[in-house]
């Protein structure tokens, strides 16, 4: 299986690795992968692979049984198994996803309702909530969101066992997607520390180190998506 470098350091934009497999669909599997694989509402990274005598544009990354597969942007001769390669991710896109994913965690703080779905984008993202009626005071929600960003709270990861998560079901905010279990442990993202903690929930995505790094946010429209479902959009303004 591929070692997931983006979990060790989401700010790493370049890394060396070695090809360990090809997928039947034409993807490349590396021994250690820098590219985030599509999942949890966050798109896979794109970028470029370079090796002696060749290069390949990577359109996205997906999870497979053997690890993370890098999908070529167009049909392309693949580097042979065993080839050393250098990975380059599209850092601008990755960093926007990090900012937006962390911002969605903050949105789930200012709207403390069960989450029924979500999608991370570069400039516009959204969360769906189990919410019978739309919020009637978006201005106050915007103020609270801005305050969480301005407080520049630390964003940290930690791990707990499957059993510990089962004993604390309140950590799980999402109704539609259950945290991955089976490996014996689950990754948590904590925003704030001690009395300043505002959020703690399972998440496998990439995040910024502090909320101040998110930058300017703007609440967008609220759409009705069912009798008890409301979709709330969030925009990055820079």
State what percent of residues in the chain have pLDDT above 90: 76
Write down the mean pLDDT value for the chain: 92
User: For position 15, what pLDDT does the model report?
Assistant: 97
> Are 210 and 153 a contacting pair, CB within 8 Å?
yes
Q: Are residues 70 and 125 in the same domain?
A: no
Report pTM. Answer: 0.93
Q: Quick one: pLDDT band at residue 165, thresholds 50, 70, 90?
A: confident
Last residue of a domain, one of 66, 89, 112: 89
Q: Quick one: pLDDT band at residue 177, thresholds 50, 70, 90?
A: low
Other beta carbons within 10 Å of 199: 21
Of 69-73, 75-79, 95-99, 144-148, the poorest mean pLDDT is in 75-79
Other beta carbons within 10 Å of 210: 16
Last residue of a domain, one of 89, 106, 134: 89
DSSP SS3 for 203: coil
**CA atoms of 176 and 181, how far apart (whole Å):** 15
Last residue of a domain, one of 89, 105, 122: 89
Which structural domain range is residue 21 located in?
3-89
Q: Are residues 130 and 161 in the same domain?
A: yes
**CA atoms of 27 and 133, how far apart (whole Å):** 45
CATH code of the domain containing 47: 2.40.30.130
User: For position 103, what pLDDT does the model report?
Assistant: 98
User: For position 27, what pLDDT does the model report?
Assistant: 94
Is the pLDDT at 47 greater than 70, yes or no? Answer: yes
Neighbour-count burial for 52-78, b at 16+ CB within 10 Å, e otherwise: eeeebebebbbebeebbbbbbeeeeeb
């Amino acid at each position: 299986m591929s070692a997931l470098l983006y979990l060790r350091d989401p700010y790493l934009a370049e890394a060396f690795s070695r090809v360990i497999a090809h997928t039947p669909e034409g993807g490349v599997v590396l021994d250690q992968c820098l590219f985030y694989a599509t999942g949890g509402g966050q798109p896979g990274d794109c970028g470029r692979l370079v090796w002696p005598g060749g290069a390949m544009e990577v359109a996205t990354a997906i999870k497979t049984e053997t690890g993370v597969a890098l999908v070529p942007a167009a049909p392309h001769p693949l580097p042979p198994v065993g080839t050393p390669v250098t990975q380059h991710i599209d850092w601008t896109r990755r960093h926007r996803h990090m900012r937006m994913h962390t911002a969605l965690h903050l949105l789930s703080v200012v709207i403390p309702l069960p989450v029924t779905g979500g999608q991370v984008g570069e400039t516009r993202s959204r969360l769906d909530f189990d919410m019978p009626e739309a919020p009637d005071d978006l201005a106050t929600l915007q103020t609270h969101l801005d305050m969480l960003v301005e407080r520049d709270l630390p964003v940290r990861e930690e791990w707990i066992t499957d059993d510990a998560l089962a004993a604390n079901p309140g950590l799980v905010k999402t109704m539609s997607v259950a945290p991955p279990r089976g490996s014996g442990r689950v990754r948590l993202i904590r925003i704030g520390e001690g009395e300043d903690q505002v959020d703690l929930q399972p998440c496998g995505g990439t995040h910024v180190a502090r909320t101040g790094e998110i930058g300017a946010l703007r609440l967008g429209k609220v759409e009705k998506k069912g009798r008890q479902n409301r979709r709330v959009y969030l925009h990055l303004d820079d």
